[in-house]
Amino acid sequence: MMSDFESQFNLKKTIDFRGRPVIFVDIIPPAIKNPIPIFIAPGWGETPKTFKDLIRLLFGAGFRVVSVTYPRHDFKLITKSNISRLESQKAEIILDILKSIKIEKINVIAHSEGAINAVIAAHTLPVHFKDIVLVGPGGLVENEGFLELAGRFIGNIIQGGNRVFIDSTARARMIRSGLETLKYFLMNPVMGLLEGSAISRTQLRDFLIDLHKKNISAGVMLGTEDIVFPLKKMKSLTDLPWIDFHSVKGDHSDIYALPDDYVSFFEKRFGNSPEIII
Q: What average pLDDT does this structure show over 253-262?
A: 90
Q: Where are the domains of the chain?
A: 5-277
Q: Considering only CA atoms, which of 105, 103, 104, 133 is closest in space to residue 118?
A: 133
Per-residue pLDDT band for 139 (boundaries 50, 70, 90) equals confident
State residue 79's pLDDT score: 46
Question: Is the pLDDT higher at 225 or at 25?
Answer: 25
Q: What average pLDDT does this structure show over 198-209?
A: 86
40 neighbors 111 (Cβ within 8 angstroms): yes
| CATH number of this structure's domain 5-277, picked from the four choices 3.40.50.300, 3.40.50.1820, 3.40.50.970, 3.40.50.1100 | 3.40.50.1820
Q: What are the backbone angles phi and psi of residue 174, rounded to the nearest 5°?
A: -65, -40
Please count the CA atoms within 13 angstroms of the CA of 7 that sit on its side-chain side. 6
* pLDDT tens digits, 63-88: 999 999 998 775 554 444 554 678 88
User: For residues 37 and 42, what is the distance between their CA atoms, to the nearest angstrom?
Assistant: 16
User: For residues 190 and 83, what is the distance between their CA atoms, to the nearest angstrom?
Assistant: 12
Question: Is the pLDDT higher at 41 or at 1?
Answer: 41
Is the per-residue pLDDT at 270 higher than 90?
yes
Percent of the chain with pLDDT over 70: 88
Is the per-residue pLDDT at 31 higher than 80?
yes
State residue 160's pLDDT score: 65
SS3 annotation, the chain: CCCCHHHHHHCCEEEEECCEEEEEEEECCCEECCCCCEEEECCCCCCCCCCHHHHHHHHHCCCCEEEEECCCCCCCCCCHHHCCHHHHHHHHHHHHHHHHCCCCCEEEEEECCHHHHHHHHHHHCHHHEEEEEEECCCCCCCCCCHHHHHHHHHHHHHHHHHHHHHCCCCHHHHHHHHHHHHHHHHCCHHHHHHHHHHHHHCCCHHHHHHHHHCCCEEEEEEECCCCCCCHHHCHHHCCCCCCEEEEECCCCCHHHHCCHHHHHHHHHHHCCCCCEEC
State residue 240's pLDDT score: 86
Is the per-residue pLDDT at 54 higher than 80?
yes
State residue 272's pLDDT score: 61
Is the per-residue pLDDT at 60 higher than 70?
yes
State residue 56's pLDDT score: 97
Question: Is the pLDDT higher at 225 or at 128?
Answer: 128
State residue 82's pLDDT score: 54
Model pTM?
A: 0.87
Q: What average pLDDT does this structure show over 182-196?
A: 78
Question: Is the pLDDT higher at 109 or at 182?
Answer: 109
Pairing of strands 31-32, 276-277: antiparallel
